[in-house]
Amino acid sequence: MLRHLAIRDFVIAESVELELARGFTVLTGETGAGKSILVDALELLVGGRADAGVVREGAERAELSAEFDFDPKGALAAWLEEHELAGDPGVLLLRRLIDATGRSRAFVNGRAATLAQVREAGEFLLDIHGQHAHQSLMRASSQRALLDAHAGLEALLRETGEAFRAWRRLEALAQEAQAQFAQRELERAELQDKVTELKRLAPAEGEWEALSNEHSRLANGSSLVAGAQSAQETLSESESACHAQLVAVCAQLRGLVEHDAALAPVLEMLDSAEASVGEAVRELRHYASRIELDPEALRAVEARTEALHAAGRKYRVKPGELFQLAKDLKQRLGELELAVNPEALARQVAAAKSTYTDTAGKLSAKRKSAAAALSKAVTASMQELAMAGGRFAAQLKPLEEPAAHGLEDIEFEVASHPSLPLRPLAKVASGGELSRISLAIQMVASRVSPVATLIFDEVDTGIGGAVAEIVGRSLKALGRDRQVLAVTHLPQVAAQGDEQWTVAKTGGKARLRSSVTRLDAAGRVEELARMLGGTEITATTRKHAEELLGR
């Protein structure tokens, strides 16, 4: 979950820091005060696109940082280890810098990271539901993505896409082979010669680097032995050997330490130096005894080096790239052998198509089951949001032609009243209805989200009254087992928060600033009264605010 957020010189926020807790936290404030700046900052921290416009006027750069805690034995911990970005166990630090030219840098646990890496990390941390989410719900691709994510079908979707591309690639190869049979046969024969020659040479992965190191060792064997022996003599065997001198100095100081303990640290350092020199002498002696002066081995290495050099020149690659070249040529030869064998190629195409059909069929079956569950859950959520009798259905629409994303598209259909038939979401919902339906969908999706922190940015726009109180209770319920942050303008929602922060703007047009403050009980009453009554706060609005908090 998100523990700490710090913002410096970002839009109109000069310096803002928040310490956040579990449960349901609300962010409120006047229109234009910068409530959504905090959400924008978090979006950038998890890999959003940035430009120079986010840097506060007059500043050199914007700086954003956040601290998260997470399960030290969970998937995020494994991901951090895999990408060599791990820090303290169970703690993740994100930092993003955007300068006045628009250039940005990102850091994970103090290490420089790519935006792609930051986005991957962000998928484990945050789930942001923006105030314009209902707009994206108008798109069929967004509806399909939401259903697949809700049902956890991403892996099967990737498998379906890979199977589709493999099938289409073989189909294209079959068509190309039919049109260019003679040309492909000539290319196949030439490739066969190359593959045969490289098979005889048998370059191994990493062989060139190992061979270069071995050649250097063998070619310089005499120098290595002489150098090791010379160093050994200087350290321990000559008349003025420094090891013997160190032993003598240590012995002399050992007697003096009895008279003045201030020499003890010096003696300790020299004792350590004497031990290190002694160890170095032993290692040099062992090293010199292991060096082999083997002319035959050197000639063999030189012959192999020349063979790899010659092959590299012939095929116009570096010697170290011959292994990969042999692998690529072998793969291409396999494709061309299929291309000049129509029957075998036809069998390959049929098998690839069958693999795709089977995988896409599994995806369709899981989508059908997930669509029924999502339809039932969103319909129930709509009843809670004052759409009694309203219905929601995620419909599977078969495609005329198979696609990488499967055999169907997904279309969300709704009926806002029991007497109305189901129709596509984009065609029937009014602004207020669309906001409520979008919120119903997002809240259902959030219940199965694996991330610990959910953020709702003014998703309650277009609703009010008793519905707003229901929304607040629903968000509070989500906050019982995870962290929920909501930017809201509705007092009924704000009153449900376990914590409340208010965002305010100060200063004139020339030096506008945004500040964030955590509210105590009295401060919450005042803020809710402002949200209820506007600029003029009366005893009545304060009483109403107290009643809201009391409920």
Task: List the structure tokens of 124.
Answer: 């484990």
391-403 sheet: strands from edge to edge: 391-403, 406-415, 423-424
Q: How many CB atoms lie within 10 A of CB 14?
A: 19
Whether residue 213 lies inside any domain: the answer is yes
Do residue 21 and residue 98 come from a single domain? yes
Do residue 238 and residue 255 come from a single domain? yes
Contacts of 430 (CB under 8 A, 6+ apart): none
Question: Structural domain tally of the chain?
Answer: 3
Query: Dihedrals φ, ψ of 449, to 5°?
Result: -65, 135
Task: List the structure tokens of 141.
Answer: 């691709």
* DSSP assignments along 503-539, one per residue: EEEES-GGG-EEEEEE--HHHHHHHHHHHHHTT---H
Whether residue 407 lies inside any domain: the answer is no
Tracing tokens 């200063």 back to the chain, one arrives at 507
Q: How much is the pLDDT for 440? A: 82
Do residue 175 and residue 232 come from a single domain? yes
Do residue 329 and residue 215 come from a single domain? yes
Rounded CA separation 65/93 (Å) = 7
What is the Cα 366 distance to its own chain's centre?
26
**Cα radius of gyration rounded to whole Å, the chain:** 35
Q: How much is the pLDDT for 140? A: 82
Whether residue 171 lies inside any domain: the answer is yes
Torsion of CA 188, 189, 192, 197, to 10 degrees: -140
Three-state DSSP state, 39: helix
Whether residue 225 lies inside any domain: the answer is yes
What CATH number corresponds to the domain at position 24? 3.40.50.300
Domain boundary among 364, 394, 427: 364
Rounded CA separation 25/500 (Å) = 6
Using a CB cutoff of 8 Å and minimum separation of 24, what contacts does 245-248 make? Answer: 246/270, 246/273, 246/274, 246/277, 247/274
Three-state DSSP state, 317: coil
Three-state DSSP state, 83: coil
Do residue 214 and residue 70 come from a single domain? no
Whether residue 151 lies inside any domain: the answer is no
Domain boundary among 309, 337, 364: 364
Do residue 295 and residue 183 come from a single domain? yes
Contact (Cβ atoms closer than 8 angstroms) between residue 128 and residue 43? yes
Do residue 524 and residue 491 come from a single domain? no
Whether residue 310 lies inside any domain: the answer is yes
Do residue 316 and residue 187 come from a single domain? yes
Do residue 122 and residue 175 come from a single domain? no
Q: How many CB atoms lie within 10 A of CB 338?
A: 22
Do residue 114 and residue 188 come from a single domain? no
Does the reported pTM lie above 0.85? no
Do residue 208 and residue 335 come from a single domain? yes
Do residue 54 and residue 83 come from a single domain? yes
Task: List the structure tokens of 4.
Answer: 């700490």
Nearest by Cα to 395 from 405, 409, 407: 409
Domain boundary among 364, 396, 415: 364
pLDDT mean for each 10 residues of the chain (551 residues): 92 88 90 78 89 88 94 89 90 93 91 90 82 65 86 92 94 78 74 86 84 74 69 74 81 82 83 84 76 70 83 86 87 74 83 96 96 93 83 94 94 88 77 72 75 80 77 86 88 92 76 82 91 79 86 71
Domain that holds residue 66: 1-131+450-518
Contact (Cβ atoms closer than 8 angstroms) between residue 438 and residue 410? no
Q: How much is the pLDDT for 280? A: 84
* DSSP secondary structure code for residue 71 in this structure: -
Whether residue 156 lies inside any domain: the answer is no
Whether residue 138 lies inside any domain: the answer is no
Assign residue 7 a region: left if phi > 0, alpha if psi is -120 to 50, beta otherwise?
beta
